[in-house]
Chain A
Amino acid sequence: MTTGIDLQGSFIKSLIDLGLPAGAAKAVWMPVPMVLMLIGATVGVLVTIWQERKISAAAQQRIGPEFMGPFGLLSPVADGIKFVFKEDIIPAKSDPWLFTLGPIIVVLPVFLSYLIVPFGENLAVTNVATGVFLWIALSSVQPIGLLMSGYASNNKYSLLGGLRAAAQSISYEIPLALAVLAVVMMSNSLSSIDIVEQQSGYGIFGWNVWRQPIGFLIFWISALAECERMPFDLPEAEEELVAGYQTEYSGMKFALYYVASYVNLVLSALLVTVLYLGGWESPIPIELLAGWLGISETSPWLEIADASLGITMTVLKAYFLVFTAILLRWTVPRVRIDQLLDLGWKFLLPVSLANLLLTAALKLAFPAAFGG
C-alpha cells in the first residue's frame, strides 16, 4: 500500500523552510486538524438538520424549508442565530451550577470522539491505539451530563427524562460494545485506521458488512438508541415528558443539546462507515481503476484524487446512513420504555453474544477470510 499524501509532514517541512524551529512548527500544526474537525462536525450538523427538515417534509408530502437560501439551505443557520440571541433562562429553584454544567458534559465527549474518525490513511486527527474503545468509553460519560441536567432542573419531567436517558444509554452500550468487539477480533486492532485497512483490497466485497451482517444491524440499532433517535427517543417523548431533560433549557444551553444529538448521529453514522462499510475505501478500489486506465500508482494527482475520493466516500456513506435514520424517525412509531429495555437486554444482548462466539469460531475455522 502507498502511504498517500502526508499533510502533516509537508506542512511542518514548509514551516521549517520558512525559518521556524522544528518544535514551533509542530506546535503550529497541532491545532490545525482539531479545528478542521470541529468545523467539519459543525457543518455536518447543519447539513443534517437541513436534511431532516427536507426528508420529513417529503415523508409528509410537504415542501419543507424553501425561502431561506437555495432549497432552504440556510434554515439551520437561521436556527443557530435564533439560539444565540435567545434569553438564557436559569429556573429560580434550580441548581445553577449543575444546570450549566450538564449540557457541557453532554457535548464535550461527542466532539472529542471525532478524534478517532479517519477520512483517509493520514487524514485523521490522530491514530489512537485504543481507537474504538476510546469512543465507547467517551460515549459512556454522556449519561452523567443527562442525569445532572435532569436533577438540576428541579422538574419531575426533567428528572424522569434524565433517568430514562441514562438507563437507555447504559443498556444499549453493552450490545454496542459486543458488536464492536466482534469487528475488533477480526482486525486484531482497536485503531480505526487498522480496522479500515483490514477491509481494503477487494472493493465492496471486502467490507465487514458481509462478514458481520448481524453485528452491523445490532450496532446500528444500538447506535440509534444511544443517539435517542425516533424509535427510541423516550427521554424526550413529548407526549409523556414534555421534553424530558431538556424541558427547562432555552437559548444556547438548549442549542448545546440540539447540536450534541445531531453530532452524535453523524458520528455514529461515520463509525458504522468505518467499522462495517469500509471507511474511506471506494466500492471499486482506486488502484484497480488506475491499473485499467494505465496510470502509475505513484503519480501525484492520483494521490490527491485518492485522498479526495476517500473523504467523499466516507461522507457519502455516512450521510446515506443518516438518511436511513431520518427516514426511520419519520416512519416508525415510538416504542414503550419496557419494550425498549426488553429489546436491549433480552434480545440484542444475547444475539450480540452469539455473534461474538460465531465470529470467534469462524476466525478459528477460516483464518484467511476472518482475520487470522
Chain B
Amino acid sequence: MNLAEGVQLVSFAILAVMMIGSALGVVLFSNIVYSAFLLAGVFVSISGIYLLLNADFVATAQILIYVGAVNVLILFAIMLVNKREDFKPLPNAWVRPTMTAIVSAGLFVLLSTMVLVTPWAYSTESVSSDTTIVLIGQHFFSDFLLPFELASVLLLMAMVGAIILARREFLPDQVITPDKQQQPVLTLPERPRELVGISSDKTSNLDDSRRSE
C-alpha cells in the first residue's frame, strides 16, 4: 500500500464516520436548527466521497447546490418562521418513531441486499479528472437529453410558482377574520387586484376608476 492508497483509506473512514454521525444527528436532535446545520455536514461528507470516486465536478456541484443553496434555504425558512409555540405531548407518541424506524430498517435491508446481489461491472480504467466535465456534457446532450430537459422544465415551473407566490399582496390578519366564510377554500387571503387589460391603455383605465369613485 503506497501513500496515496493509505490517504484514500483514511479519508474514506473519516468521511464515512462523519456522514453517518451527522445523519444520525439530523434525525435525533430535537432542536431543528442543529438538524439543519448537521445536514450541511452530511452533504459535505457526501461530496468528499464523490471526490474519492474521481468525480470532482459532481463533488463541487454537490457543495454548490446542496450546501450553498438547499441548506441555506432550509436555514432561512427556519430562521424566518417566528412561531413560539409549545406543543402538547401527543398520546401514543412512541408509535411514530417506531414505525419510522421499522420502515427505515426495512429500506436499509432492501438496499443492502440489492448492493450485495447485483453483479457490479467494475471498470478498472481510471478516468482522468480533466475529462469528467466534457463527459458529463456529452451525456447531457445525447442519451440523457430528455431527463436533462425535463429537469429544466421542472425548475422553471418551480421558479414561476415562487414568483407568483412572492408577488401576491397579503391582507393583514385583522381584516380577514370577520369575512372568513367568503374566502374560497385552498387559497391565501389576498387583496383584490385589478387585472390589467392587454389592449386598453392604462391612462383611460385610471380615468374610469376615478370617475366611478
- Mark A residues whose CB is within 8 Å of B: 23, 26-27, 98, 128-130, 133-134, 136-138, 140-141, 143-144, 147-148, 150-151, 159, 162-163, 166-167, 170, 173, 190
Contact = CB atoms under 8 A, between A and B. Distances in A.
B3 A159 contact: no
Given A129-B129, A163-B80, A170 B72 contact: yes
Interface in B179-210: none
Given A141-B63, A170-B68, 14 more contacts: A128-B56, A129-B130, A129-B133, A133-B57, A138-B63, A140-B64, A141-B67, A144-B71, A147-B72, A147-B76, A147-B79, A150-B79, A151-B79, A166-B72
A137 B67 CA distance: 9
22 contacts: A128-B56, A129-B57, A129-B132, A129-B133, A130-B56, A130-B57, A134-B60, A136-B64, A137-B60, A137-B61, A137-B63, A137-B64, A140-B63, A140-B67, A140-B68, A140-B72, A141-B68, A147-B72, A148-B37, A163-B79, A167-B76, A170-B69
A116 to B, nearest CB: 11
Contacts of B80: 163
A147 B75 contact: yes
A133 B68 CA distance: 13
B22 to A, nearest CB: 13
B120 to A, nearest CB: 26
Contacts of A173: 68
A285 to B, nearest CB: 27
B68 A137 contact: yes
Contacts of B37: 98, 144, 148
A119 B115 CA distance: 46
Question: Which of B2, B37, B79 has the largest count of A CB atoms less than 10 A from its CB?
Answer: B37
A65 B67 CA distance: 42
Interface residues of B, number: 24
Contacts of B75: 144, 147, 166
A288 B106 CA distance: 70
Classify the interface of chain A: helix, strand, loop or mixed: helix
Nearest to A127: B130
A130 B133 contact: yes
Contacts of A129: 56-57, 129-130, 132-133
A27 B4 CA distance: 10
B88 to A, nearest CB: 26
B65 to A, nearest CB: 9
A159 B79 contact: yes
A181 to B, nearest CB: 13
A26 B80 CA distance: 50
Question: Which of A23, A130, A134 has the largest count of B CB atoms less than 10 A from its CB?
Answer: A130
B33 interface: yes
Nearest to B4: A23
A209 to B, nearest CB: 25
Contacts of A133: 57, 60-61, 64
A31 to B, nearest CB: 13
Interface string B75-97: 11001100000000000000000
B33 A151 contact: yes
A167 B133 CA distance: 30
B40 interface: yes
Contacts of A136: 64
Contacts of B67: 140-141, 144
Contacts of A162: 79
A130 B60 CA distance: 8
Interface string B37-69: 100100000000000000011001101100111
B3 A27 contact: yes
Contacts of A163: 76, 79-80
A162 B33 CA distance: 14
